[in-house]
Amino acid sequence: MSDFYALVIGASSKISHAAIAQFEQNDACLGVFAVSRTAPVESFDPKTHWFECDYSETAIRQVCKGLMPFAGKITKVLICNGILHEDSMMPERKLEDVTAAQLERTFQVNTIIPMLWLSHILPLVKGETSAQISVFSARIGSISDNKTGGWYSYRASKAALNMLIQTCSIEYARRAKNVKLIAFHPGTTDTPLSKPFQRSVPEGKLFTPEFVATQLLFIMDDVEMNNKATYLDWNNQAITW
Ligand SMILES: NC(=O)c1ccc[n+]([C@@H]2O[C@H](COP(=O)([O-])OP(=O)(O)OC[C@H]3O[C@@H](n4cnc5c(N)ncnc54)[C@H](OP(=O)(O)O)[C@@H]3O)[C@@H](O)[C@H]2O)c1
């Protein structure tokens, strides 16, 4: 594998941490750019450079501007941002639970922020070398696979994210042919996001962040570079959109 730089957005995620650790151990990885609302206090490998970002358009533009010296050399990108619940909100179980506030909040984090990154990072990833961008989606965002209903905000925010990824892939195919976009479903993973729902997960189906990161980095190396967006799960299996 040729030398590369990695960009991990939403780097406080447990899966991001595991991916960053794996990039740090990879000799071909010359550096990791980790973007988060808050840089960690504990020390990471000197290979990793942290950027604090409030995900406003101005801040996203600033981070991308700062990374321009690495344009064309950043070939692995993870966009991990996503919320399912917060202190004041849980996934909706019925129509009466739906509020404008929860829809807006969830779409802001799960859909709008990843889209802003896809919009601003094109000059960083465009180049001669194959590059993969994995955006963390979820199987629940599949419109064709929706058999159980509920979780209105989260489900719809990921479905909208999938549509934006698909739409971006058409423009990227024209303007950055070296780039592959992946909508990634990590499977139920032991992170703060899934904590309140882990009791109902069947035995052996709650993954560690380390396992999911290993799967994802393998998938990114292995994926067919065909200028089309792909919706894949942790096991490298296609999900219907
Ligand atoms: N865990 C699962 O079972 C599971 C299943 C399916 C899909 N996913 C998806 O996987 C991704 C990573 O989730 P995780 O399980 O690793 O969760 P996590 O450890 O709770 O990480 C949360 C992520 O969301 C970002 N985030 C949280 N609040 C935010 C806000 N107000 N504004 C902007 N960003 C915010 C964090 O970014 P900062 O670094 O800026 O804090 C971080 O990247 C999410 O997109 C999630 O939907 C997870």
- Is ligand 1 within 6 A of the CB of residue 79? no
Structural domains in the chain, CATH included, are 4-233 (3.40.50.720)
Instruction: Report how far ligand 1's centroid is from the alpha carbon of 124 (Å).
Output: 23
Percentage of the chain surpassing pLDDT 90? Answer: 95
Q: Is the pLDDT of residue 41 over 80?
A: no
Sign of the CA dihedral running 18, 109, 185, 1: negative
* Tokens read off for 14: 């447990």
Amino acid in position 79: I
Average confidence (pLDDT) over 172-189: 98
Query: What pLDDT is recorded for position 43?
Result: 66
Lookup: tokens for 181: 């976009």
Q: What is the mean pLDDT of residues 76-87?
A: 97
- pLDDT for res 35: 98
Q: Of ligand 1's atoms, which has the minimum distance to the CA of residue 55?
A: 33
Task: Kindly report the protein residue whose alpha carbon is nearest to atom 28 of ligand 1.
Answer: 83
What is the band of 118 on the pLDDT scale with cuts at 50, 70, 90? very high
Q: Do residues 6 and 77 touch, judged by C-beta distance below 8 A?
A: yes
DSSP 8-state class, residue 169: H
